[in-house]
């Protein structure tokens, strides 16, 4: 970003003849990360962002936004008075997006959106200057922040969009006005707030509401809920998935512990590799490749880009226990689709004895019992020697698994029994074992992980 403070006034349609000659090179809303050249936006979170303006000034910001219903400050640095800080943040983002005018790729989905965003950015960067959502900044703050911090020479902007309510993605896509909209898949994440997968699909489809008329919609063609809703989208459509009915699909997948190889229908001679496990990540790669096709990226360039991928904050990671056992850790996020995907991927990996530790999956509402029970179909003694479950809802899965496992191989713990779970795992875990830890963050399996490593 690069603009004079006078241009900020103009972009926000504020009249002021006495504007300081200050150059703005970025925006921030976290005073701890403020730096020279930044315009500070005191956004309201758990606390009013105006409380942190002095901290931002101490850290070197060049100017700050100030909401008119707050007491006007002393002139320590230049400030811009607005009626609403959040609206000003979004309006400045819209202005700057039009000024830079990159192609915009918007990505959403119940699972895989961050990984897919990174894959798209990597593929498109083979022939474009690409900016992307940092980490998973995918809400009303994250999307404008992403836009406002893209370099002035950005040719493609890849924006991740998340949601926890109806209308949120519509709002975000109205800010970004994508040229390509991508939906990775429809799962059960946040079903507590939406009630059914049908309603989740409706909410995800909002990403097409502000799709440019000559844009394209890329989506998972294996999902009937998306196929049905895509009929109402007038723009060009491209599908990916496992089935041969899709425009792009995998014809062969070779799983590995830290890499996955696959081939596709369009370029059968090429062996694609991604530096991560799981058929579900192949699906994410296919989504990114479809965006690559739309952007005229050559298949060989996509092949090389995917092999060199570095994924932002990959929640599923391989670690080593103190005794040398392999740990597959995902202790910060879990939902039924993601849990089943990682269980099925772990089944395919050729290794020694495999143990699994599963904690409650939260925010599933009235469907919690049924969805926890649904994991039973992916768990059997042939693939997983011992099963450790923790949390109120995992009690239902224990009951479902009791026909497959005896009491020496199936264990359940209350949510407050992390120390007992940890002690049992330390006793049982052997150097040649592989163990999966997966739960929603509210279960705090990270404490167990810390003790194991």
Binding site as annotated, residues: 109-115
Please state, in angstroms and rounded to a whole number, the distance separating the CA atoms of residues 86 and 297: 37
Ranges of residues in the chain whose predicted pLDDT is under 70: 74, 312-315
**Per-residue pLDDT, 192:** 79
CATH class of the domain at 3-84? alpha beta
- The CATH architecture assigned to 317-452 reads Alpha-Beta Complex (3.90)
**Per-residue pLDDT, 316:** 81
Angle at alpha carbon of residue 410, lines to 407 and 411, rounded to 5°: 95
CATH superfamily of 102-307: Mur-like, catalytic domain (3.40.1190.10)
**Per-residue pLDDT, 190:** 76
**Per-residue pLDDT, 312:** 63
Domain boundaries, the chain: 3-84, 102-307, 317-452
**Per-residue pLDDT, 12:** 97
Burial of 340 (0-12, 13-18, 19+ CB in 10 A): middle
Please state, in angstroms and rounded to a whole number, the distance separating the CA atoms of residues 39 and 5: 9
Burial of 128 (0-12, 13-18, 19+ CB in 10 A): middle
Tell if the pTM clears 0.85, that is, is over it.
yes
Binding site as annotated, residues for ATP: 109-115
**Per-residue pLDDT, 172:** 98
Please state, in angstroms and rounded to a whole number, the distance separating the CA atoms of residues 228 and 164: 22
């Amino acid at each position: 970003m690069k603009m004079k403070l006078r241009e900020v006034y103009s972009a926000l349609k504020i009249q002021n003849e006495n504007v300081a000659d200050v150059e703005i090179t970025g925006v921030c809303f976290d005073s701890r990360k403020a730096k020279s050249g930044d315009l500070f936006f005191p956004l309201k979170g758990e606390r009013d962002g105006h409380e942190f303006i002095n901290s931002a000034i101490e850290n070197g910001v060049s100017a700050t936004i100030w909401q008119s219903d707050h007491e006007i400050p002393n002139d320590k640095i230049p400030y811009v008075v607005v009626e609403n800080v959040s609206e000003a943040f979004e309006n400045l983002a819209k202005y700057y997006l039009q000024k830079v005018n990159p192609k915009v790729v918007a990505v959403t989905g119940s699972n895989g959106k961050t990984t897919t965003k990174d894959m798209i950015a990597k593929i498109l960067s083979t022939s474009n200057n690409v900016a992307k959502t940092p980490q998973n900044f995918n809400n009303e703050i994250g999307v404008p922040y992403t836009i406002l911090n893209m370099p002035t020479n950005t040719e493609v902007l890849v924006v991740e969009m998340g949601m926890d309510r109806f209308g949120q993605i519509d709002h975000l896509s109205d800010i970004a006005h994508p040229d390509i909209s991508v939906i990775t898949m429809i799962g059960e994440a946040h079903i507590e707030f939406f009630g059914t997968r049908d309603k989740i699909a409706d909410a995800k489809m909002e990403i097409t509401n502000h799709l440019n008329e000559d844009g394209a919609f890329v989506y998972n063609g294996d999902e009937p809920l998306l196929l049905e809703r895509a009929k109402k989208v007038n723009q060009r459509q491209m599908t990916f998935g496992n089935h041969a009915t899709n425009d792009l699909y995998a014809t062969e997948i070779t799983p590995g512990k830290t890499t996955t190889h696959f081939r596709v229908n369009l370029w059968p001679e090429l062996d694609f590799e991604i530096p991560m496990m799981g058929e579900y990540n192949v699906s994410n790669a296919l989504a990114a490749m479809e965006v690559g096709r739309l952007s005229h990226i050559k298949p060989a360039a996509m092949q090389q880009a995917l092999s060199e991928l570095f994924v932002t904050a990959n929640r599923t990671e391989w670690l080593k226990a103190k005794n040398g056992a392999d740990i597959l850790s995902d202790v910060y996020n879990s939902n039924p689709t993601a849990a089943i995907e990682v269980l099925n991927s772990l089944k395919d990996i050729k290794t020694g004895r495999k143990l699994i530790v599963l904690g409650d999956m939260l925010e599933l509402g009235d469907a919690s019992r049924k969805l926890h029970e649904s994991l039973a179909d992916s768990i059997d003694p042939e693939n997983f020697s011992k099963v450790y479950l923790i949390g109120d809802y995992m009690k239902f899965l224990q009951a479902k698994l009791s026909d497959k496992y005896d009491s020496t191989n199936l264990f359940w713990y209350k949510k407050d029994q992390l120390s007992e779970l940890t002690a049992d795992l330390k006793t049982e875990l052997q150097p040649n074992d592989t163990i999966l830890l997966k739960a929603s963050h509210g279960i705090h399996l990270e404490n167990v992980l810390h003790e194991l490593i």
